[in-house]
């Protein structure tokens, strides 16, 4: 289902089940990782939702009614998610629910199905593969075979390496997202004729990743595949650097490396990692919202893109990469003297955070 069709379905759903007074708000509820290991993702999702609600309300709302967002912090703990949605439904009486994140959505699916709710999910991987719930919709463009889809790019790149790799080591958390991604990776490895020399999950609350990386290093794999959430990703990369792990290619669906805060934190450690970003630019995605966003991006001042290293993963001895990084930083400094950056000015950030009408990243749990 296209995004445009999904949006129309939501509006029709709201029109049919919400015959209330025009002034009564449409309450949309969700659980959000505002703190904890997935906070970088959760806060980004929350701020995006608040910006959307702010713009919609400035335009008159939905169906002539204002939109109210009601959200609670799940502290990046899937065990808290069902209780939050129970409160949203029974206490806050929300009209519509939104889910986000594979680990967190999966924890709430039994409740959603028991209540016969229409589920609108954003960031999730193969959550409904097991449940086959007909009222479940998501925006992630993985298609009907999400486990294989999210890992296909990694293996396409891996099998282009010359000489071709023969062995692969894979790891990920003992949680829904990592297990789904690793299931797809096993299928690709089998088709490519790769020998899996390491295949283990670690507990989600793992802090020290050194033993895991040391065990992977002992197998001397050609490829290393990691499926992780933000807190895991940073810890694994630090352990990889400390243990001087080498491979022809290192990467996978490593969540967190897409976020600006983690990119800034990890810096040159990200050189040589094969990860993924999501952007589907094709005709069925050409609806007003996406076209407006594309126009804003095109008008924004540009910074020179950082130069990445080759595919080989050697974060401890990247002399050539560091040379180019120094050149890139020098070019950025010289460019910044003559052109503005795309960052929001400091005074704008302050006014945004203190305004009662505009959304904030650290605002109250109820925002309209």
Which bin fits 260, alpha (ψ -120 to 50), beta or left (φ > 0)?
alpha
d(CA 38, CA 20): 36
The answer regarding whether domain 3-140+346-367 maps to CATH 3.40.640.10 reads no
d(CA 168, CA 182): 12
Element at 249 (helix H, strand E): strand 249-251
Which residue from 179, 178, 217 is spatially nearest to 198, judged by alpha carbons? Answer: 217
pLDDT at position 265 is 82
* Positive/negative CA dihedral, 78, 106, 250, 331: negative
pLDDT at position 53 is 94
**Count of residues in the chain:** 368
d(CA 180, CA 174): 10
State the SS3 of 50-90: HHHHHHHHHCCCECCECEEEEEEECCCCHHHHHHHHHHHHH
3-state secondary structure of 28: strand
- 245 and 187 Cβ atoms separated by less than 8 Å: no
| Residues 6 or more apart in contact with residue 123 via CB below 8 angstroms | 41, 45, 100, 101, 102, 140
- 184 and 147 Cβ atoms separated by less than 8 Å: yes
* Positive/negative CA dihedral, 272, 273, 278, 282: positive
**Would you give per-residue pLDDT tens digits along the chain (368 residues)?**
555 555 555 556 656 555 545 579 999 999 999 999 888 888 889 998 999 999 999 999 998 899 999 999 999 999 999 999 999 999 999 999 999 989 899 999 999 999 999 999 988 888 888 889 999 998 887 878 889 988 999 999 999 998 999 999 999 999 999 999 999 999 999 999 999 999 999 998 899 999 999 999 999 999 999 999 988 998 999 999 999 999 999 999 999 888 877 888 888 878 889 988 766 566 766 767 666 666 665 665 554 443 332 333 333 333 333 433 444 455 444 444 433 333 333 332 222 222 334 444 444 344 43
pLDDT at position 336 is 41
Question: Can you read off the two tokens belonging to residue 258?
Answer: 């897409």
Q: Which CATH class is domain 147-274?
A: alpha beta
Backbone angles phi, psi at 136, to 5 degrees: -105, 130
pLDDT at position 11 is 59
What are the residue ranges of CATH 3.40.50.2300 in the chain?
3-140+346-367, 147-274
Question: Can you read off the two tokens belonging to residue 198?
Answer: 């390491």
């Amino acid at each position: 289902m296209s995004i445009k069709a999904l949006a129309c379905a939501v509006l029709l759903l709201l029109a049919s089940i919400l015959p209330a007074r025009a002034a009564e708000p449409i309450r949309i509820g969700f659980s959000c990782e505002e703190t904890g290991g997935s906070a970088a993702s959760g806060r980004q999702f929350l701020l995006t939702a608040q910006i959307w609600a702010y713009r919609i309300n400035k335009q008159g709302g939905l169906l002539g009614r204002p939109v109210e967002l009601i959200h609670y912090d799940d502290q990046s703990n899937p065990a808290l998610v069902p209780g939050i949605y129970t409160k949203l439904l029974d206490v806050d009486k929300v009209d519509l629910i939104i889910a986000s994140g594979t680990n967190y959505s999966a924890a709430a699916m039994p409740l959603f199905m028991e209540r016969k709710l229409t589920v609108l999910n954003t960031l999730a991987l193969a959550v409904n593969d097991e449940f086959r719930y007909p009222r479940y919709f998501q925006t992630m463009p993985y298609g009907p075979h999400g486990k294989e889809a999210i890992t296909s790019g990694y293996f396409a790149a891996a099998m282009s390496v010359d000489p071709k790799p023969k062995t692969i080591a894979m790891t990920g958390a003992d949680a829904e997202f990592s297990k789904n991604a690793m299931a797809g990776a096993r299928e690709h490895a089998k088709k490519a004729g790769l020998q899996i020399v390491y295949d283990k999950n670690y507990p989600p609350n793992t802090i020290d990743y050194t033993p895991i990386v040391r065990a992977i290093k002992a197998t001397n794999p050609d490829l290393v595949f990691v499926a992780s959430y933000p807190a895991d990703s940073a810890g694994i990369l630090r352990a990889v650097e400390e243990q001087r792990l080498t491979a022809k290619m290192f990467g996978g669906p490593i969540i967190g490396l897409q976020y600006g805060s983690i990119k800034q934190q990890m810096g040159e450690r990200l050189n040589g990692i094969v990860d993924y970003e999501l952007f589907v630019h094709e005709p069925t995605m050409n609806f007003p919202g996406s076209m407006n966003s594309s126009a804003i991006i095109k008008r924004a001042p540009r910074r020179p893109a950082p130069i990445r290293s080759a595919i080989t993963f050697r974060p401890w001895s990247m002399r050539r990469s560091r040379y180019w990084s120094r050149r890139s930083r020098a070019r950025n400094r010289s460019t910044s003297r003559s052109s503005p950056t795309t960052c929001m000015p400091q005074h704008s950030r302050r006014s945004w955070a203190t305004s009662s009408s505009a959304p904030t990243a650290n605002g109250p749990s109820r925002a309209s």
